[in-house]
Amino acid sequence: MAAAAVRDSLLHQAAPETKSSAENLALGYSDYDVDGMLRPCNKPFDVRDEAGAPGSVYYLCRWDTMPSGWKELLTEPKGGALSLWPFSGATTYRFAVPDKSKILGRAPDWVLLAENPLRQEQDHLRTVVWSLVGAVAFITAVASASAWYAAGRVLRPMEAIRAEFAQLSTHHLDRHVPLPRTDNEINRLGRTLNTTLDRLYAAVEQQQRFVADASHELRTPLASLRAELELALAQPATTDWPRTVRDALGDTLRLQRLTTDLLLLARLDAHTHDTRPATDEHVDLTDLVRDEIARRHPPSHIALTLHLGNAPAHGPVLVYGHSTLLARVLENLLDNAERHATSTITVRLTHLPDQQRAVLEVRDDGPGIPPQHHARVFERFTRLDDARAKDSGGAGLGLALAHYITTLHHGTLHVTDSPCGAHLTAYLPTVTVAP
């Protein structure tokens, strides 16, 4: 754009200058009798004058011998083009001026032919073009160097993050990627990666603990079952075979229950999206609790009591979810209560329609849960000291499963303070179905 503006400016200056010089020369030659001094126009004399435009050439010829193609120049000049390409030349600017006698309508009539090759203008334009090319090349080089330097500074933290991330493995997930000092997108990316690494590290740690605890829990009943069978086979004559079979059956049932819990936990962990409550399945907690209580057969010294509270008065207590999983929550809570209860277990279901949630409570009159262990009892494979005996202690998965399933149903399960025994309370959101 700058070179084109310079070109137009040079042409605008050269055209009137050539025209004015040619007109002045034509008027000057008309004052002399130059007849006979001029040859035919095919071999004209070169008339030069200091008053002419720089670099221009002027020819004086008769009107009748003027070359073809010049007559139209009497009204409009032609040519006069400058090239922006530095290796090209200019197009000659041509102009024809009649002398004063022609202007006055008298003979003889002469015509002054003017040619301006625009060499000076083209040289000037060429200098401008080369200057612009040099300036553009210099600016481009400076901009490229600055961009390269800036990109290097910006991408250096990215390279550090990439190098650190490439060295990570399952044995070094506790490492973090370096963070740049500036608070920018790269810093936020690094923080996101570190947060993801922390979650991944916690998940791997949980999986490793799960495998170790599961192996330990499975080893104990297997070792007990093997010892009982080996002792019975070593002394078959003195072995009480009915008792041995009952003990073996008890260990087998314990293994079955433990294996079922482990499989359920693995399925919930691996396919959480498949086990979340379906929005089109309504479960009536009132019927579910009644069926589970009717199915239970607690020990003879324990009385199991059900209180439905205000649930029947407000109709069915409906929740979104899977009936099998919700029944597993109550089953695990009752199993835990039976292991620790002294004489009574109380189950209460209350509906809070104004809060749109149901409250399921399971109480026992056992030793209770110390306050410092209220959150810990919902961790996997957690057993308190008084629950480690083989006969009464579980594997530490019942409450963890109940808590996990309740969370999947967008509810909560926690230990409520109680003056006597354990009091576990589950809150589940309810739904209202139009009649």
Higher pLDDT, 74 or 371: 371
DSSP state of 285: H
Residue 242: φ, ψ to 5°: -60, -40
Question: Would you state the pLDDT for residue 384?
Answer: 64
Q: Each residue of 232-257: pLDDT tens digit?
A: 888 888 888 888 888 888 878 878 87
Report residue 220 as tokens. Answer: 């104990």
pLDDT tens digits along 347-357: 999 988 888 89
Instruction: Provide, rounded to the nearest whole percent, the portion of the chain with pLDDT above 90.
Output: 9
pLDDT of amino acid 52: 52
**pLDDT tens-digit profile of 286-306?**
999 999 898 888 888 889 999
How far apart CA 79 and CA 92 sit, in angstroms, is 6
List the one residue out of 347, 350, 342, 345 whose CA is nearest residue 290: 347
Share of the chain above pLDDT 70, in %: 74
Dist CA 376 CA 104 (whole Å): 121
Residue 105 or residue 201, greater confidence:
201
List, for residues 374-417, the tens digit of each pLDDT value. Answer: 888 887 777 665 444 444 455 677 888 888 888 888 899 999 88
**60 near 112, Cβ under 8 Å?**
yes
| Backbone phi, psi, residue 87, to 5° | -95, 0
pLDDT at residue 317 in the model? 86
Threshold 0.75, pTM exceeds: no
* Residue among 86, 108, 90, 89 nearest 98 (CA): 108
Higher pLDDT: 281 or 171? It is 281
Sequence-separated (6 or more) residues with CB below 8 Å from residue 298 = 304, 334, 338, 345
The pLDDT-based confidence of 272 (bands split at 50, 70, 90) is low
Residue 420 · residue 348 · CB < 8 Å:
no
36-60 residue pLDDT tens: 333 333 334 344 444 455 667 777 7
Nearest to 8 by CA among 94, 84, 115, 119: 84
Tell me the pLDDT band of 106, cut-offs 50, 70 and 90: very low
Give the helix/strand (H/E) hosting 306. Answer: strand 303-307
pLDDT at 140 over 80: yes
